[in-house]
Structure 1
């Protein structure tokens, strides 16, 4: 940094034409060595392109008659801004290993979410007190002692067009009881859109991410329908889980109780009706069903990571969502994992478990407090 300040001082003098011969030579030398000031490959390439452009500006074609000092002075000012801009950017964005106590301080996710009301108002649910109620158009919701939100109808007038959206961040999850009594558990980095009150037609909700549903049987026999980007799931009264994260290559729908029908949006794919302990796996152009232990699919609602022949990349994506970290691969493996891990572990303890499973992890961070796990 002392060298940076010295160059800055010389450039300032240079622009005022007050530099000495020695200072001018030092400035030219600094310029010539500019290719070597960054170790980062991408930044180095950008710097070389910048230098080439600047050199062209400093050495114009013979037909362009302008004083070299004027040209170099203007370019030097731009170069100084660019150089220190790169330095500042890299310092903030470069990652360095985390200390053991820093890793231990990273706690797992917890109950946190927001609700966006039909009028666009956003409510942070952590700001609501226990037993506090909030009016929402035709209904109201109450936060109970467990932190769960329950919707209560204030009127018999149904407004299925008035949608609310429950959204969880990374390292967050939340549970909600809809106006028909259906319970929904929303996993990290997910969202559920639903009406304040259901109408006389089908009960329709929209899901992004992952959720577990315990659907209340309806006296009017209205279907409960969950729409995701790639499929529609129809039920009457049942318990099931849908994993439909955008960064997953497949959509998994797992039935715990009752019966559901999975309808892919691709009409060339035949719908499938599931029985308990069955799961559909929807890919781009096909769907298959398989026997599973449904408790593994819904284990996250009971505080566990549950893996049943799960590949390492999917394992790490689940961890990334729950601990709000990024994943970077220095090396990938094709190993699959089976077992259960408590979701309430601090990150350092989780890393130790991963290392026992032959997943070598280095935790790093930067000045913006972005946290990353590098998999070796």
Structure 2
């Protein structure tokens, strides 16, 4: 077992960007071990404190810069396990502390600030970004000027016919995944169409064999399933839930950190089955809600067009709890939301275009009485 001094050295090497491949793997192992949580927490805070940052964006910029450099020189299976998720809570906490200190310094000393000295931060909206992972482990970064991947008998192409990957006679398995700030569309081998929201994925074969068409998803995906009365279309979720259809239009929201899985039906009929062997049949305009670690499935009427507004490049926050709204912004703008005080309990109406920058969205919330500040990629909600 590694001791505390050795772990301190590894963390310092990570921050200094001098860590090697084996050391990085060892550090990842300890970051994923819940038994080491307390020790790691104290060491991270100690390291960040030693750096004497004066702005929260400096902390995040350093972590992002080092992490990207490390991932560029370490093989993808290892590099995929970024340390950013572990550092983000401390970046967020530091943002709050620095903002509070800055406010005290300004109001306590009654000093004015020249507006030209204040940097204007903004974050551009997301767009068409996705990665295609193949059975053999290769990764293909998809063209951001394209918006749709098409699965055909001869292989994968973009919508304009440009080849992405040529397949042989054997069945291949693909995983299409979008990062934060990403979205993409795909046409599956049976002609079904799917839309992937930010931080989502779909796993599917190059051809559907047998008596069913099975895909596996994470995140949020909208489906327009091609009708085939001889082959059910099955959507498997990472939590063991699944959805069965023949031909229909529906949306699945199953993010890993969400409190519930939500399946919303626009057209046709779907059967939702949870991992407790309970099932329900949905009618158009209904939504099935499956809370985490609960056996009961709730069905309610829903504004399904508002639910799927994201695929038409719109935000529709009507009736949505504020934390869920912030989760959408986190994924689409690749930011971290921090609450400086109590979570606002307001209702919002209307739509906003997802192509707007974050500052535009912040202005819309300010007009509704919610003050926000953008510090680098930290969004501070007052």
Give the structure-1-normalised TM-score: 0.68
Unaligned runs of 5+ in 2: 1-40, 60-93, 100-116
TM-score of the aligned structures, taking structure 2 as reference length: 0.67
* SS of residue matched to 1:320: helix
User: Structure 1 stretch 163-172 or stretch 92-101: which is displaced more?
Assistant: 92-101
Q: Give the match for residue 345 of structure 1.
A: 356
CA contact (8 A) 1:311 1:337 kept: no
- The structure-2 alpha-carbon separation of the partners of 1:149 and 1:140, relative to structure 1 and needing over 3 Å to count, comes to same
* 2:128 is the counterpart of 1:117: no
Q: 1:282 aligns with which of 265, 269, 290?
A: 290
Partner of 2:280: 272
Matched, 1:86 2:21: no
Change (3 A) 1:236 1:150: farther
Equivalent residues of 1:139, 1:197 under 8 A apart: no
Residue 140 of structure 1 corresponds to 155
Q: How many residues align?
A: 283
For structure 1, list consecutive stretches of 5 or more residues without a partner in the other structure: 1-41, 48-81, 366-370
Aligned alpha-carbon RMSD (Å): 3.4
The alpha carbon displacement at 1:330 in A equals 1.2
Distance 2:182 2:270 in 1: 28
Q: Which of 301, 323, 326 is 1:313 aligned to?
A: 323
CA 1:141/1:294 → structure 2, altered by over 3 Å: closer, same or farther? same
* Cα offset, 1:154, TM superposition: 7.0
**Partner of 1:188 in structure 2?**
198
**2:236 aligned to 227, 240, 252, which one?**
227
Q: Does 1:363 align with 2:363?
A: no
Deviations 1:194-214 (A, max 9, x none): 111110221111111000000
User: What is the match of residue 33 of structure 1?
Assistant: none
The answer to whether the 8 A contact 1:228-1:244 is kept is yes
Pick aligned residue for 1:372 from 368, 378, 382 = 378
What is the CA–CA distance in structure 2 between the aligned matches of 1:211 and 1:249, rounded to whole Å? Answer: 17
| Match in the other structure for 2:120 | 101
**Separation of aligned partners in 1, 2:162 and 2:370:** 36
Distance (Å, rounded) in 2 between the aligned partners of 1:271 and 1:374: 41
Q: Quickly say closer, same or farther: Cα 1:201–1:336, change in 2 above 3 A.
A: same
Out of 342, 346, 366, which is 1:335 matched to?
A: 346
Q: Select which of 205, 215, 226 maps to 1:216.
A: 226
- Which residue number corresponds to residue 251 of structure 2? 241
One of 174, 181, 186 as aligned partner of 1:176: 186
Relative distance call for 1:194 and 1:358 in structure 2 (3 A) is same
4+ residue stretches of structure 1 with deviation over 3 A? 42-47, 88-92, 94-101, 127-135, 147-155
- Indicate conservation of the 8 Å contact 2:254/2:262, yes or no: yes
1:149·1:176 contact (CA, 8 Å) conserved in 2?
A: no
